[in-house]
Structure 1
Amino acid sequence: MKDTQIPESEQSKELFAYFGLAVYYCQALEQQLTNLLLLSKLSQGQTLSEADLAELYQRKLSNSLGQLIKEIQHHFPFSEEETRQLQSVWKQRNHIVHDYFKERIQQTFTPAGRAQMIRELKRFKNKARRLEVKLQSYSTDMYIKLGIEEESIMK
């Protein structure tokens, strides 16, 4: 019976680790979207003081993933596929954060249920990570085009 005890099971620890990674990569996406928004404003010739840039950066970091996705679509030329991927990750992120364990609580008590949940969370984590890496490359390209050190915008 020990394997069905959630806190003590190694499989349970793995399940919660993948949940954490799923949330982590969503936050990494939020960071990249924030970076892209600021870089887009700078690339349009907007000159912002260091204080204004820092204030805008903090304000954008407090936006939700959905708010950032809606705003970035007005400033960055994502392909239709990239837009679809962003919206899909946003929808899945909301489900994982708000409803996932409520809907699957019974599965957490069985090895087969936990294994299924781990596979789902792993797939989502990989999907979010690939998208985050893609956005990171767009940010890096914009830093280079603008001649900005990446660290200078995130002070």
Structure 2
Amino acid sequence: NKASPEQPQPVKVRELVQSIIEKKRLLHHMESTHIDDLTAIADPVRVDQIMGHLIQNAIDASPDGAPISINARRRDLSVAIEVRDQGTGMSNEFIRGQLFKPFASSKQGGFGIGAYEARELARAMNGRLEVESTEGAGSRFTLILPLAKHLSEEISADERAA
């Protein structure tokens, strides 16, 4: 029973993040120090698009050889997947005024989804996108997704009842 692409479903965060890292590793040095084994309620296709955008931006902002770090942690009732670079960074004015403009790209021949589209995709899954940046020091984008209810506990409760 395949869920339709729009339908958020339980997604293993570790497997998804590791597959994204594997795909992007050929383009740039990626590192991951911490990926919690969590299940989020999300659409894997959308998560893949958002992460692809965040990682591409991080690559574009980063000097050669500066690794991009991708981590996933539990945060309250959410999963926080962060993409951190040591790149050029952005000013608060840019983040407030420009970053999330629809179809705006500061890149030459920019294509693919922008930050606005990534944020909308996150919102469509009851998630959100956070950004922190320091000019000259880099940026951290964090995709926040709802944590799946404790599926393992529900399953063991059902088994006990059987």
Bucket of the pairwise TM-score, normalised by the shorter protein: under 0.3
TM-score between both structures, scaled by the size of structure 2: 0.26
TM-score when normalising by structure 1: 0.27
Q: Which has the higher contact order (CA 8 A, sep 6+)?
A: 1
Which one has a larger percent helix, Structure 1 or Structure 2? 1
Higher strand fraction: Structure 1 or Structure 2? 2
Larger radius of gyration: 1
